Amino acid sequence: MTRLQIGKDGFTLPIELVTSTQAILARKRSGKSYTASVQAEELLRHKQQIATIDPTGAWWGLRSSAAGDGPGYPVVVFGGDHADAPLEPHAGRMLATALVEHGFSAIFDVGLMVTEDQIRFTSDFASELLRINRTALHLFIDEADTFAPQLTENRGQKVCLGTVSRLVKQGGVRGVGVTMITQRPADINKKVLSQVDILTVLRMSHPLDIKAATDWIKSEVSIEFAGEVEIALPSLPVGSAFFCSASLGIGQRVEVRERETFNSGATPKPGERQQVPRVLAPIDIEQLGREIADSARHAQENSPEFLRQRIADLEREGNRVLPDSGIELAKLQAEIGKLRPAAEAAAGYRIKLHEADEIRKEVLQELHALIAKLEHHGEGEPASVSEMRVPQELPLKFPPRPVVVPRTITEASAADHASDAENPVSTSEQKILDALASLEAVGVIDPSKTQLAAFAGYSNPKSGGFAAPVAALIRKGLAGSSGGKATLTAAGRSVANMPTRPATTNELQARIFHLLGEGERKMLTLLIAAFPENLTRVELAGQAGYSNAKSGGFAAPLARLVELGFVETVRPGVVRGSEMLFLKGKGRGK
């Protein structure tokens, strides 16, 4: 498996970083952009495409060697003091199109723009990139708190936050990975931060900044490691970093290797002039210019604004026609007649797209609500797992999902009845109680909050919609919490809809399979068959019928299996089925 060399001591990250999400947090001049540049070097070395939103003007050094006497990587610099080509605030969508169509790597130096123009460019660029990209590309966003702030100051910043948030959440399935870099961790949006796969932390001293980092580490890695990081951060030497990731199974202090390209972000010492490289990697700017111009022309000629302007120009030209000028007014009017419907259709299409997106959001909300209702409050016999599609090459037969029969008041004790009357549970609280009961029935006594949220139908375990009912259950004594994990109390069991415990491993696995999608079931079947042996991601992808182990279609279901605790990451790139897939004391199939 291809690895990216990040640390002096041999520490590596998988090539899948290109489509992963990461946040790099540190105080200024602690090495955050340096660390990101090392990762960019590794991606470029392995022929991966990158792009950088650079408000600092410090990324152009990727074009030259470390000493400045040899070429670096052929990354095109748009804007700034070292530009190969100019950069305009309104060019975000056009340059995203050019980047995708022609596959070059680029640095967009927005440092000479005012903040409002930086935000406009980034918002347009990120939105178009998410819409059209379908190949692997990694976007580094420096000073990310400007584009994804915790508190927005104006409408433009709010729009940009929404765009960056969607890119971080959904970019992986479109091939886009994102690294957000900031020296102000307390100011970056926490919902966006919660979505990253990897957190890289360098020296910090402000308590709020340290808290933003350690809260993430507590949730995703461990409380113990978060404590270690918290103690070390204020005095961490420049160049040292903590790399943290639950999906990769890492929580490690690393000495970042030296850059192989020119450190254009180095702060000059007093009395010292900043060095300028003598040699840069060559760029065929004329050819690139033609390609970008073609992309720009294509985008412009199909925009409603261009079509409206063309109509207005033709109408003005028609108004200037003299009887003896030789200009055929009829032809001008005919061209106007042809263009007008196209302009109106293009404008209408934009409106319909917006309306369709709003309808899609409403339908999704209704579907999630309906699914939750059917799973936890539906009437009648649920469909059997055997009716679901299972890979034909891996035939499995499962018994019907056990029917959950809610307890009646008469079945509970008088004390339970009184307690329930004093502390009635809401629909959300009942759903979470039932999820705890289902987990307990398959042997997970103290699930993580992430596992519980997934079983209860919540996509984000840190959302208020999930956290509030969990807190209410703990307050009412129906659930307990310790070390980021949740448990069902005796009082909670009297209120929850408790399913019967599985009698055999086959029944246990059948219940688990009933919770999963088709892709997840296929992978878990293979891992169960291999248990207790490990499988590499490449082996699992091949056996499951995926041609590319780096694709989002493969990575997403595997990540959910890890999140749910059914699959363990033995080490980066290697996985195996969890022991919770088998009843203790009973072999496979018993």
* DSSP 3-state of 403: coil
* DSSP 3-state of 444: coil
Whether 257 shows a pLDDT value over 60: the answer reads yes
d(CA 77, CA 216): 34
Whether 274 shows a pLDDT value over 80: the answer reads no
pLDDT band at 395 (very low <50, low <70, confident <90, very high): very low
Whether 364 shows a pLDDT value over 70: the answer reads no
Task: For residue 239, report the phi and psi dihedrals to the nearest 5 degrees.
Answer: 100, -10
Least confident of 99-113, 165-179, 328-342, 515-529: 328-342
d(CA 314, CA 376): 63
Tokens 């005919």 map to which residue? 334
d(CA 92, CA 147): 14
Model pLDDT, residue 396: 37
Cα angle: 418, vertex 420, 426; to 5 degrees? 155
CATH topology assigned to domain 3-265+273-290 = Rossmann fold (3.40.50)
Q: Closest Cα to residue 282, out of 98, 49, 38, 77?
A: 77
Model pLDDT, residue 380: 42
Strands 3-5 and 137-141: unpaired
Strand residue runs (E) in 397-509: 479-482, 485-488
Model pLDDT, residue 348: 59
Least confident of 32-46, 194-208, 367-381: 367-381
Q: What is the DSSP string of 71-92?
A: B---PEEESSTT-SB---GGGH
Those residues whose C-beta lies under 8 Å from the C-beta of residue 461, and which sit 6 or more positions away, are 219, 449, 450, 452, 453, 454, 467
Strands 49-54 and 106-109: parallel
Q: Closest Cα to residue 499, out of 355, 399, 353?
A: 399
Whether 378 shows a pLDDT value over 70: the answer reads no
Beta bridge pairs of residue 25: 182, 201
* DSSP 3-state of 77: strand
Q: What is the DSSP string of 434-494?
A: HHHHHHHHTT-SS-BHHHHHHHHT-S-TTSHHHHHHHHHHHHTTSEEEETTEEEE-HHHHH
CATH topology assigned to domain 403-495 = Arc Repressor Mutant, subunit A (1.10.10)
Per residue in 296-353, pLDDT (tens digit) is: 555 555 555 566 666 677 666 655 554 544 556 666 667 767 666 666 666 555 555 6
Model pLDDT, residue 405: 38
Q: Which of 329-343, 366-380, 387-401 has the highest mean pLDDT?
A: 329-343
Model pLDDT, residue 579: 84
Mean of pLDDT over the chain? 80
Between 381 and 165, residue with greater pLDDT:
165
What separation in angstroms does the CA of 13 have from each of 2, 214, 248? Answer: 9, 21, 9
* DSSP 3-state of 539: helix
Model pLDDT, residue 371: 59
Beta bridge pairs of residue 4: 13
Least confident of 39-43, 165-169, 196-200, 478-482: 478-482
Least confident of 138-152, 208-222, 386-400, 535-549: 386-400
d(CA 565, CA 558): 11
Instruction: Compute the average pLDDT of residues 28-57.
Output: 95
d(CA 45, CA 74): 11
Buried/exposed code over 209-242 (b: 16+ C-beta within 10 A; e: otherwise): bbebbbebbbbbbbeebbeebbeebeebeebbbb
Q: Closest Cα to residue 43, out of 136, 159, 180?
A: 136
Q: Which two tokens stand for residue 45?
A: 């070395």
Sign of the C-alpha dihedral computed for residues 315, 317, 323 and 327 taken in this order: negative
Between 378 and 207, residue with greater pLDDT:
207
pLDDT band at 532 (very low <50, low <70, confident <90, very high): confident
